[in-house]
């Protein structure tokens, strides 16, 4: 603690130092550590824990996204906790003194899923004002509590002032018979850019500490704000939806009471019941709102949203279906809707809605979430995105989950759906494999044909070589003489050139026709054919007498 005083001096340095007004001041560390400080938690809520005696509360907040995260500290006290600088300087985050709770998990199941933590201890101050004088103790029912969450990084940086705080009063649910106040601020609007088959419902959440759920009732007539029935509210024919204590709004209403679909230009009335954890609720004199859907001629209001890619589904532990998909990076996508059907579908209107996921990219479909699920039936699953207004894309591309045994189910009439089997075979990997197989078959055909042609040409060549010899030209082409003509020698002395040419000319060419008769032709001998009778044996009509074998019988005389 420092003491500060101010003394005034004139130009001659005269001043009164005896009568100085003193003030005490204490510097506090508002930001601990060095460097950047993790952002404060701004989305924070606190509720009474259901089904207890008022000694536990539930704290819910959005996880921090800081990279060098170290821990959270949850502060609960009966005094405001917006400024923790003095309390943190006094006892830090020691749980034995501060009544707070610290843990080092940045998120529980998903990075963007809210963290929900039950707490049973708080810091109680004697006068309800100074936290540094507080004493930790168990939570007491009926005492209003203030809640805040601080984020610490690895260097110890933390914001201690201007914190977001929530308030809650623990309720003894065992003896609770007080219903939450009726909701007043309710709004029902026509969903824009659609075909008039849906409405959007929004409302202010209840400020009751023990709120547990919200029941939505709707129909095509004004039911007077009363849903009081002799039976359970969940069996009321006007009941269409149940929302948890921290719902994602607005709610898309596509069906009203008695499972009647919303139609364009048909007015719809809606009421909302707030129910606490003990089942207390007002069922009469409810606030009613109405709206009329309008058909803008758009059948798929979420057509601008992207398709969800890499959707995969398979059997898990033989009784469940595990579905996984790739997160969308589109800024308009707020979450995902999951649908299932036993028939192929391209619109979500023809499938069964299962659940919605805001940050997770997987879901496990069990017989509890989809009654009748069995591994002997073919199912089709699809995942579609929705935006911040709750508008979801209707046009989808479902994937098939084949039966675990491999046998296709038989549809109505006892006939298999051949088209579905063909579609399941015409996948990208199968088409690529078929194309490669076709190319291999074509290459083999080309190789075999070329080898056959080469063998045929080889046989023709050998036959020609054996018969006529190797020739460049055809066998019936006459061979042109390439020898140079031989000139006649010079005639002997005393003869003329013409006489010399006649002497050396070939036979028959030196004869002159001047004699008036043809050249003498020497007679040719006549060949007489010689016939061997032995060769004609067996060729004539009369068979020739067979020759007896000539056997030497002289050896018989020797024997005798």
> Are 115 and 49 contained in the same domain?
yes
Round to whole Å and give the CA distance between 400 and 415. 18
- N residues, the chain: 560
Give the pLDDT score at 462. 63
> Are 39 and 167 contained in the same domain?
yes
Task: Mark which of 225, 256, 291 sits at the end of a domain.
Answer: 291
Residue of 34, 9, 31, 36 lying closest to 20 (CA atoms) = 9
Give the pLDDT score at 120. 92
Give the pLDDT score at 418. 43
> Are 284 and 344 contained in the same domain?
no
Round to whole Å and give the CA distance between 158 and 40. 8
549: left (phi over 0), alpha (psi -120 to 50) or beta: beta
H-only helix segments in 298-426: 418-425
> Are 132 and 87 contained in the same domain?
yes
DSSP character at residue 37: P
Q: Containing domain of residue 165, as a range? A: 31-175
Is 553 within the bounds of a domain? no
| Blockwise average pLDDT, block size 10, the chain, 560 residues | 88 86 73 71 90 90 88 92 89 87 82 84 82 88 92 89 92 86 92 85 90 92 82 82 88 88 92 90 92 86 88 91 91 90 91 86 90 91 89 90 65 41 66 88 85 63 59 54 54 61 54 52 58 57 55 66
> Are 35 and 171 contained in the same domain?
yes
Give the pLDDT score at 381. 95
Round to whole Å and give the CA distance between 301 and 391. 7
Is 8 within the bounds of a domain? no
Intra-chain end-to-end CA distance of the chain, in Å: 168
Contact 234, 279 (CB under 8 A): no
Task: Mark which of 411, 432, 456 sits at the end of a domain.
Answer: 411
Is 549 within the bounds of a domain? no
> Are 138 and 207 contained in the same domain?
no
Is 60 within the bounds of a domain? yes
**H or E stretch at 46:** strand 44-48
Which CATH number fits the domain that encloses residue 161? 2.60.40.10
> Are 39 and 142 contained in the same domain?
yes
Burial class (CB in 10 A: 0-12, 13-18, 19+), 244: exposed
> Are 207 and 226 contained in the same domain?
yes
> Are 346 and 319 contained in the same domain?
yes
Residue of 62, 105, 106, 395 lying closest to 248 (CA atoms) = 62
pTM of the model: 0.54
Contact 395, 346 (CB under 8 A): yes
Encode burial over 469-495: b for 16+ CB neighbours within 10 A, e otherwise: eeeeeeeeeeeeeeeeeeeeeebeeee
Contact 323, 340 (CB under 8 A): no
Question: In sequence order, what are the residues at sequence separation of 6 or more whose Cβ sits closer than 8 angstroms to the Cβ of residue 433?
Answer: none
> Are 265 and 367 contained in the same domain?
no
Round to whole Å and give the CA distance between 386 and 305. 8
Burial class (CB in 10 A: 0-12, 13-18, 19+), 30: middle
Is 58 within the bounds of a domain? yes
Greatest pairwise CA separation for the chain in angstroms = 191
> Are 149 and 195 contained in the same domain?
no
Task: Mark which of 411, 433, 454 sits at the end of a domain.
Answer: 411
> Are 118 and 193 contained in the same domain?
no
Is 15 within the bounds of a domain? no
Is 62 within the bounds of a domain? yes
Encode burial over 406-426: b for 16+ CB neighbours within 10 A, e otherwise: eebeeeeeeeebeebeeeeee
Round to whole Å and give the CA distance between 250 and 201. 5
Is 494 within the bounds of a domain? no
In the chain, the number of structural domains is 3
């Amino acid at each position: 603690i420092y003491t500060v005083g101010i003394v005034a001096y004139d130009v001659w340095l005269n001043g009164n130092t005896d009568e100085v007004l003193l003030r005490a001041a204490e510097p506090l560390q508002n930001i601990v550590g060095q460097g950047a400080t993790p952002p404060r938690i701004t989305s924070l809520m606190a509720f009474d824990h259901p089904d207890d005696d008022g000694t536990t509360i539930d704290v819910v907040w959005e996880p921090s996204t800081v990279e060098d995260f170290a821990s959270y500290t949850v502060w609960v006290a009966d005094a405001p906790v917006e400024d923790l600088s003095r309390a943190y300087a006094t006892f830090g985050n020691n749980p034995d003194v501060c009544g707070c709770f610290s843990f080092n998990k940045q998120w529980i199941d998903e990075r963007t899923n809210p963290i929900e933590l039950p707490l049973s201890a708080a810091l109680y101050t004697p006068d309800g004002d100074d936290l540094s004088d507080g004493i930790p103790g168990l939570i007491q029912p009926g005492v209003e509590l203030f809640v805040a969450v601080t984020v610490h990084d690895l260097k110890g940086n933390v914001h201690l002032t201007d914190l977001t705080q929530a308030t809650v009063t623990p309720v003894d649910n065992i003896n609770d018979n007080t219903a939450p106040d009726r909701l007043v601020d309710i709004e029902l609007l026509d969903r824009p850019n659609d075909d008039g088959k849906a409405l959007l419902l929004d409302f202010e959440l209840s400020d009751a500490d023990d709120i547990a759920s919200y029941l939505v009732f709707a129909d095509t007539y004004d039911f007077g704000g009363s849903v009081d029935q002799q039976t359970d509210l969940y069996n009321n024919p006007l009941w269409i939806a149940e929302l948890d204590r921290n719902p994602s709004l607005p709610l898309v209403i596509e069906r009203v009471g008695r499972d009647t679909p919303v139609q364009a230009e048909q007015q719809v009335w809606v009421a909302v019941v707030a129910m606490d954890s003990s089942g207390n609720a007002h069922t009469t004199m409810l606030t009613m709102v109405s709206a009329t859907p309008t058909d803008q001629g758009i059948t798929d209001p979420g057509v601008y949203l992207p398709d969800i890619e890499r959707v995969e589904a398979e059997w898990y532990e033989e009784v469940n279906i595990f579905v996984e998909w790739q997160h969308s990076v589109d800024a308009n996508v707020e979450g995902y809707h999951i649908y299932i059907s036993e028939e192929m579908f391209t619109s979500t209107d023809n499938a069964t809605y299962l659940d919605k996921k805001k940050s997770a990219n997987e879901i496990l479909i069990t017989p509890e979430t989809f009654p009748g699920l069995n591994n002997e039936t073919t199912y089709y699953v699809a995942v579609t995105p929705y935006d911040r207004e709750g508008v979801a894309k209707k046009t989808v591309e479902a994937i098939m989950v084949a039966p675990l045994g491999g046998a296709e189910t038989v549809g109505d009439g006892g006939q298999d759906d051949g088209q579905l089997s063909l579609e399941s075979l015409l996948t990208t990997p199968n088409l690529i494999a078929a194309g490669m197989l076709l190319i291999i078959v074509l290459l083999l055909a080309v190789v075999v044909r070329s080898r056959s042609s080469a063998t045929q040409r080889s046989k023709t060549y050998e036959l020609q070589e054996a018969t006529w010899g190797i020739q460049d030209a055809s066998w019936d082409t006459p061979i042109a003489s390439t020898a140079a003509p031989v000139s006649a020698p010079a005639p002997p002395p005393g003869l003329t050139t013409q006489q010399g040419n006649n002497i050396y000319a070939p036979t028959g060419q030196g004869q002159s026709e001047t004699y008036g008769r043809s050249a003498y032709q020497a007679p040719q001998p006549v060949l007489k054919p010689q016939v061997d009778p032995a060769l004609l044996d067996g060729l004539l009509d009369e068979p020739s007498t067979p020759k007896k074998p000539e056997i030497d019988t002289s050896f018989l005389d020797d024997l005798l």
